[in-house]
Structure 1
């Protein structure tokens, strides 16, 4: 047909085109070739579709009746060429996708071969079979020559059937940059060798990794099997050893029990005769007039006591070894407690002309300690220090708080300990050897026991020393009781603890103050100050009363006055004839000073004239004892004064400080109590009124106020203030002065709940019930 550039209205042309396309479809032979022609307004739509290898093709074209015939044929030819081009591109992509899929499937089979079996041979067989199944190989063989550690290994696996006509392809297998084997494959007949080589090169790194992992797994499995075998063998050996060890432990325990029984029995066997020796010898020495004989008896007593101390130490060590040494810790204000331990060596230090100092950076520190055991600790450390410190030397004891511990350091100016000997200083039975120590040989058990006693308190002990310059022992005791087991805590509250409890019962607006450094209250031994210039007489009195009192010593009247102000003792025993200040002047000063007027005084004198007795009583002495005197009489008089003081305290507990009809207190003390009572009454409604403010208003220090109030009334100042307020509260409730909250506020209690708690503690019932009880009456 001739086509020109003109336009014609020719629907027949579309029929002709349809026929041409149908013929074209038959010629190319595509499956499911279909041509549909749909007539529309002023035109037609051709819809051509076919399939090839599962891929569907479709082409739509639209024509109008009015068109250029030549242009239409050209457009039709261009569309056909575009269709063929797209088909060829899709075909190429399909082939590449198929090749990549084959690679990935083979790589996956090889990579997962190690998971299919823990046996190396089975893993290799899985790899070769994957190559035969997926990689167009007629056969595949893998041969290993080295294991994971580089040791020689012979292992081979193969799959498929060799095609002799096909040339083999061989590649090395590399693991950790070392050749461990090789792989050989043969392509299938008719296969493309280049494609097989390309696939093998692609898979080779994956094969290397899989074989490396398999070799490692094999090594781990072998190690595990060997380890299990060794463990079984070792377990059998351990069972045998355990049986032998159990038998040994049983024998050692039996031996330990025998040893402990021996030490316990021998200690008690020594203790009984020693008691029978020391008691009579002491009495004989007290009665003996011959000074030489008395001195010899003193030597017997001294060594007998030393032997008793050694027996006690052996018994303590035996208890430690058997596990029977138990801690019985109770709360103590350890500052005055430890200071008392140190001062008990004052006489001994004086006799050896050694300066003994005891300093504390704290006034009060509450710790849970076993008093008896801590006394042994101090005794052992101080005894050692005195033993190795020459005359004219110095021993300084310093106490301070260090974080959550209370530390005590004992620094002496003795001969020191060689540096190389320090690590063994706490070993049992160990003694430092040397010319300087030969004269001071001991048993070597004191420091071992000391260390165990400190560790029983969960504390620490350390030593520093420089030969020729001295030694420092430092112990640390934890504060509080959080470090102790419940069975180790015994809430037998000491005086220091009572004072602390009384202090913390203050309301939130009151200031909490510390008690005096050397405060001694109920629950502790009374403090006795012995003022005597004769050392032997001081020791004699001390020996006869030290079981009942804590002893302080002064060498003359002036020393006694200073120590009275420093320690505020519960009772003073003083000689009359002394240098610097005699007993009469001292007693007069004590009784006329508001700080010390409450302290009972016993005067010792050899003057028997009536005027001397009168002078003594005029100076304010409470008791007057003639020399020579019996130790028993002195103890009785001291106890009488202590009991008298107890009755005075009981009187004030029952009737308060406003009824001063007690004749056994001095006018100065009555005046003092009246002033204190008046100040409390004047400030009874102030919530900011505190013990420290009371002391300031009374014109005395807080420690003096505390000591005097406790000595006279048996109560700490804070408790006295609270008692007066609560007594006033009870009266106001009875008189219906106001409701309970108003009364509490009027009497200085900022917290009504705290007021009710204190009221119930004092009167046994809460204020609400007290009010109803008063109404019913």
Structure 2
């Protein structure tokens, strides 16, 4: 109904029945705001503004246009935003021209987002006329030209006539009579085709002025006479229209009077029947009351059901939050454990390698194995958190399935023998090469086999059976342990779950293994099923689809990070620079870790220890270092921030940078490599691995420095030539005809020679090189607001086609050029 009022008001406005239009539109605005329909309310206020603008009441017109814009602030209808900005700008042209210019440019931005030629032509036309009134003729021509470009995209001859008339008017005021004559004659052709008498009156008047300035007074008089004839015909038409409006108004009022009289008769008839209706109303009231009581009872039941559902959801959310708190706690603890584990496992490995006493080596071996078990637990917790965050990826490789299974199975043979458990492997598959994620499948089987052996008593049996059904492979791990009650079988796959029996505390465990195995199986597209009966044992079946490889390839085994030969750290010749050991900056906030790093690295490097990133920057200002080793998590300034600061200094940026950290997340590694680090070592690590990585970084730096010294002179000369080419292109940015041949002529080279130089040092062709400089300059103009519109920036860099400029700019910078004006 509100939209109907708005449309009726618009029709009254078109018929110049302004009083009726105002009454209807005010009613529509009130209703639309009451219903919360802000868009319809904005349109209604816009129509009210148009009514008062037609009545030349600019103050009220501005007020209603402003109300419409305020209501549209939360809407994303760019076309309507543009129309409203254009309307308010038009109303402010005389009283506040600067505000009007701002609104017109804002409307242009809205329309360029939607690419609406009709609105764009109107806005540029109005902006050009305002600038013309201010005497800014060149800027007016720029906007008329842009408006004419968009006007040619739709068939509206009166718009084309008005724009050409405006061109002629500007040139007439500049006394460029030939240009004025060219555009005004075109305007007359289009104006006569449009049959818009008001427009033709203005065109003939301008043509009269033109011929007067040329001295052709006879032609000027004839055109002026035509102007008066059109003016008189417009006046007569207005008088006739006003008379017709008055007649229509009289007939409308008479019709409304007849309707009122008929309504009065209907009311009187209704009063006669009111007594009969009263009985019906009472009966209906009783029915409604009964229905409301029924609805009330139903609503109470629904509310009780909803309350129960909310309580269940709240309990479910509470359990999820507790589970997340546990995971976050274990994840944080895992991070904190990596540094102490490094200070346990790395020194123990060094000591075991150095001592010869077998009893002492055996005792230290126990410490080393248990430290490794703790590290494996830390890694399981980290994997579980990665799965939960959706950041664990699948890495497939080709492997011979039976050999892979035997290798995993054999890892528990000694443990089964020590516990006097019969340990069997049954392969119901032929040797076949498949694609699988070895690390994740191995973790799943390790967890299943370790649990089976843990819960199976002496003289019991544990078996692994591998079978195939089409492309679905199953790994069934069976044991003769105590079994699992049916009530507990789903719970064993939940995180941190422990069996509620007295023996569980003796067996130990964290409740993570089976939860991780299930998550990994689902990640691989498989599943784990459990069949168990108390007193008979359990069978965990891991099923996963695997694709076979037609041509067998050598299986890819896991790369062992600490696979540096045992004698590596002491066997290679230490590097020297000018007869001295290379300088190594160690950035580590943990005192004991810092001391350990100094102990294992000082024999081969001149080591300087900094306790955080801030101190590291001070040391870099004092000494030239050949390599930097930094922790990530540090107070004041962490490793990532340190690398960002180093990147700001061209000399420091060339120093090899190694991140040494307890964080084991892929996004941390990716962020580090994006910042330009050279290598990444995760705690715990072996001293041999650390020696090898630092040695390689320093050696590569020495080789790179030697190569750069040889090529620096040649490179410097070519860089100067490339800079000269760029300078020449920048000097001709506003020349849309500047081509590769012009660039080559400017440096007295052939086009092919220039192309080879540009290709060698930029990887671009000559055309791409020139376009890149144009686009970069356009981006600078837009970012620094040196251009008020995209069109202005486009012309400033010598590109004539708007569609080509927008497409190439978006491809290069990933954003539409108009987006840079909104930042």
TM-score by length of 1: 0.31
Structure whose alpha-carbon radius of gyration is higher: 1
Q: Which has the higher helix share?
A: 2
TM-score by length of 2: 0.29
Q: Which has the higher strand share?
A: 1
